[in-house]
Amino acid sequence: MSNNMRKNIIFFIPTFSFVALFVIYPIVYTFILSFESENAYTLNNYFKVLSESNPLYMLIVKNIALSPPWGALLHNIVWVLIHAPVTIILSLVISYMIKYYYIKGSSLIKALLFLGMVIPPVIGGLIIRFMFDENIGIIPKIMRLLSLDVILRIPELSKTWMNYPSLALFSLILGSIWLWLGFCITIISAGIETIPQSHIEVAKVFGASSFKILFKVIVPELKTVILTVFVLTILWDLKLFDIVYASTGGGPGGSSTVLALIMYQYFIYASRYGGYGRSAAVAVILTIITLIPASIYIYRSLKRS
């Protein structure tokens, strides 16, 4: 054994031991636990969580309608489909404007946008609840002011969104955009700083509009950064728990449940009556879904390095 190898082993073993103990062991144990049901190892837990009919535990509803509830699994997917692209596009536009246009108080805007990131998610959930409240919330007031509730023929828009199954999930998604936007702007702004000024100047000389500069120069140059932010956003969306727990608790009628909340509810149930298998099964399902974007990210990172 070479000297280098020995050194590597010495440094590797303590780190690996802790990773093994606190990361690998819980993952493996959760995976095993997800199959444990009535002292046997079967797929029972998976069948039960996937076929559960209690709206507050449902992963997929049997008859999917036009508006929620659709089940936690689909709610998470809808969350990703709306939240990830909207947040990325908004942060790109805002970062670009802050960098290339003189906006009075741009530092303050940046600080306000970053506020969502530093607020604890539970508090964030409560703030979202207030934002969409008929009596004290800004969003229903804007809807009323612009008569959007009348124009769009959705009277609930000027009421408390979280009281209505058709709007509760979307109010949370919109609120989460504000919470996560600060992080995305910070990363994308840092990325924009690395683009040579000459590239932008050349585009301007050739008469490119701001729109073209953003999407033909900046976006291609920020491809790696955008991909990183995109994957991190999806991972954040899939792990969401606190803001739902603090604002709607998954209701009304199970219209805003998410996988992490259901996993938690099974866990609480098990802590009273035993049987952590179902909670573990939801955790495994959530992990598998999370692994898809995570593996893309890891693959890209490895390829880059």
Whether cis (ω within 30° of 0) applies to the bond prior to 69 is yes
Q: Which stretch binds other proteins (CB under 8 A): 104-112, 132-140, 178-186, 285-293?
A: 132-140
What backbone phi and psi angles, to 5 degrees, belong to 13? -60, -50
Spatial CB neighbours of 113, under 8 Å, sequence gap ≥ 6: 94, 178, 181, 182, 185
21 forms part of the interface with other proteins (CB under 8 A): yes
**SS3 at position 16:** helix
Size of the site for other proteins (CB under 8 A): 37
135 forms part of the interface with other proteins (CB under 8 A): yes
Q: How far is the CB of 239 from other proteins (least distance, A)?
A: 19
Is the Cα torsion angle 283, 82, 84, 292 positive or negative in sign?
Answer: positive
Q: How far is the CB of 26 from other proteins (least distance, A)?
A: 9
Q: How far is the CB of 69 from other proteins (least distance, A)?
A: 9
275 forms part of the interface with other proteins (CB under 8 A): no
Q: How far apart are CA 54 and CA 8, in angstroms?
A: 53
163 forms part of the interface with other proteins (CB under 8 A): yes
Q: How far is the CB of 14 from other proteins (least distance, A)?
A: 6
Q: Which of 273, 288, 303, 304 binds other proteins (CB under 8 A)?
A: 273
159 forms part of the interface with other proteins (CB under 8 A): yes
Spatial CB neighbours of 62, under 8 Å, sequence gap ≥ 6: 53
State which residue, 21 or 138, has the beta carbon closest to other proteins.
21
Rg, C-alpha atoms of the chain: 23
Q: How far is the CB of 214 from other proteins (least distance, A)?
A: 42
Residues 26-65 that bind other proteins (CB under 8 A): 53-57
272 forms part of the interface with other proteins (CB under 8 A): yes
Q: Which of 68, 71, 175, 254 binds other proteins (CB under 8 A)?
A: 254
138 forms part of the interface with other proteins (CB under 8 A): no
State which residue, 52 or 237, has the beta carbon closest to other proteins.
52
252 forms part of the interface with other proteins (CB under 8 A): yes
What backbone phi and psi angles, to 5 degrees, belong to 40? -140, 160
State which residue, 135 or 197, has the beta carbon closest to other proteins.
135
In the chain, which ranges are continuous DSSP H helix?
3-19, 25-33, 44-51, 72-100, 106-118, 121-131, 138-145, 148-151, 165-193, 197-205, 210-212, 219-221, 223-239, 242-247, 259-273, 277-304
| CA 213 to mean position of chain CA atoms | 29
- The residues binding other proteins (CB under 8 A) are 1, 6, 9-10, 13-14, 17, 20-21, 25, 53-57, 133-136, 156, 159-160, 163-165, 249-254, 265, 268-269, 271-273
